[in-house]
Amino acid sequence: MSMDMTFLGTGSAYPSPHRGASALVLRTEGECWLFDCGEGTQTQLMKSQLRAGRITKVFISHLHGDHLFGLPGLLCTVSLNTNPDTQEKMNCVDIYGPRGLRNFLRVTLGLTGSQLLFPYAVHELEPTPEQSPEEGRLSLEMTEERGPLHPQERLGSTIQLDVSDDCYVLFEDKKFVVKAFRLFHRVPSFGFCIQEHDRPGRLKTEVLKELGLKPGPLYGRLKAGEPVTLESGHVVQPSEVLEEAIPGRKVCIFGDCSSVLGPGPLRLCRGADILVHEATLGNEQREKAVEHGHSTPEMAAAVARACCARMLVLHHFSQRYKPSSSQEGRDEDSVSELRRQAEEALQDSGVEVTLAEDFLTLPIPLQRPR
Ligand SMILES: [Zn+2]
Ligand SMILES: [Zn+2]
């Protein structure tokens, strides 16, 4: 199954002509999952190879505008482009994010009289008080939803921290298990860990032949992990005839943060194929970055090193950093300096560093067993 990730916005704070506000799409066969949706995400989507109508799930890391202002508009445009005569887009769009998101959407869509041609549900993550300074905690009055559901809204769930694992279990299906973890920011922020299930290794056809097994349904059963009894009474265990399992891919996408919180994040992100982390300001501005709840390349690198990630992807750059393709900007504001800082911190770690740019697509290949 092919899998890739496209960055639609890599700037912090607001969209500019050089960088869109935060948004990225993780694409697997047939499905697109959107992570954050800053203002202008819909036009970025139109400029990309992706189709907004393919988005089936949305994940919002935190409620800052540069990660959220684009969502109501995007939902409305997807609806406008939906053909009401086809059933294609009638599936419920599941939206995951911090407590308060349900109210935000209900009020925004409600006050603007926005109708959608498809249902949506907001599943809220309940933050813990340690995730932000006191002034960043939202009161119940601000987050509690009032009034009836929006006509297209379906009841969503409220997801609490699983204290034993220090994470939030969002959902699990045949292909993936998706969890969230806690980060520290000016308002409660979350990261997401998308873990693909391992898949069985290839069948050892030589061994199967020796056992006298011919290709057919029995092969499928062995591959599905079921033992098979031969006519002779001999039981063939799947482990005898299967090569080593192919490990599922792991993609970890961090929201804005100046640090992780609790043991959950590093535990969940261990061995990530791709770890996406913000680097809003350069190392020389660490104090300012931390004061605003953000990270520097060195700080992001420390997380990637602690997780033994294969690749660290930096994004969410201050708008002062122009893309490296642009001729503008003074040298000290060059985004490649941020890459250099991360690489320096990751010397001898084996972690590869990539700078995200708007419309960069990264393939996420399957890896051989380690
Ligand atoms: Zn931000
Ligand atoms: Zn933020």
Task: Give the CATH superfamily of 3-198+246-363.
Answer: Ribonuclease Z/Hydroxyacylglutathione hydrolase-like (3.60.15.10)
Catalytic residues, which ones? 66
Q: What is the pLDDT of residues 86-101, one digit of tens each?
A: 755 578 999 999 999 9
Distance 245 CA to ligand 1 centre (A): 38
DSSP 8-state secondary structure symbol assigned to residue 37: -
The 10s digit of each residue's pLDDT in 51-88 is 999 999 999 999 999 999 999 999 999 999 888 777 55
Question: With contact defined as beta carbons under 8 Å apart, do 192 and 253 qualify?
Answer: yes
Retrieve residue 319's tokens: 């708008």
Mean per-residue pLDDT over the chain, rounded: 93
Give the amino acid at 80. Answer: L
pTM above 0.85, yes or no: yes
Distance 52 CA to ligand 1 centre (A): 22
For residue 327, what pLDDT band results from cuts at 50, 70 and 90? low
- Identify any residues that bridge with 357 across adjacent strands, giving them in sequence order: none
Identify the nearest ligand to the CA of 22 by its number: 1
Cα dihedral across residues 6, 12, 16, 21: positive or negative: positive
Q: Could you tell me how far CA 243 lies from the centroid of its own chain?
A: 30
Q: What integer is the mean pLDDT of 281-303?
A: 98
Q: Which helix (H) or strand (E) holds 7?
A: strand 3-9
pLDDT one-digit tens code per residue, 247-259: 999 999 999 999 9
Give whole-number Cα distances, 11 to 265, 298, 303, 338, in Å. 24, 18, 21, 14
In 3D space, the residue among 351, 349, 354, 352 whose CA is nearest the CA of residue 335 turns out to be 354
φ, ψ (nearest 5 deg) of residue 192:
-125, 135
Q: How far is the CA of 255 from the centre of ligand 2 (A)?
A: 8
Nearest bound ligand to the CA of residue 39: 1
Ligand with the closest atom to the CA of 280:
1
Q: What is the DSSP string of 228-260?
A: EE-TTSPEEPHHHHB-PPBPPPEEEE--S-SEE
- Count Cα atoms within 13 angstroms, Cβ side, for 10: 26
Q: How far is the CA of 235 from the centre of ligand 1 (A)?
A: 57
Query: Domain boundaries in the chain?
Result: 3-198+246-363, 205-241
The dihedral region occupied by 347, where left means phi > 0, alpha psi between -120 and 50, and beta the remainder, is beta
Which stretches of 284-324 are DSSP H helices? 286-291, 297-307
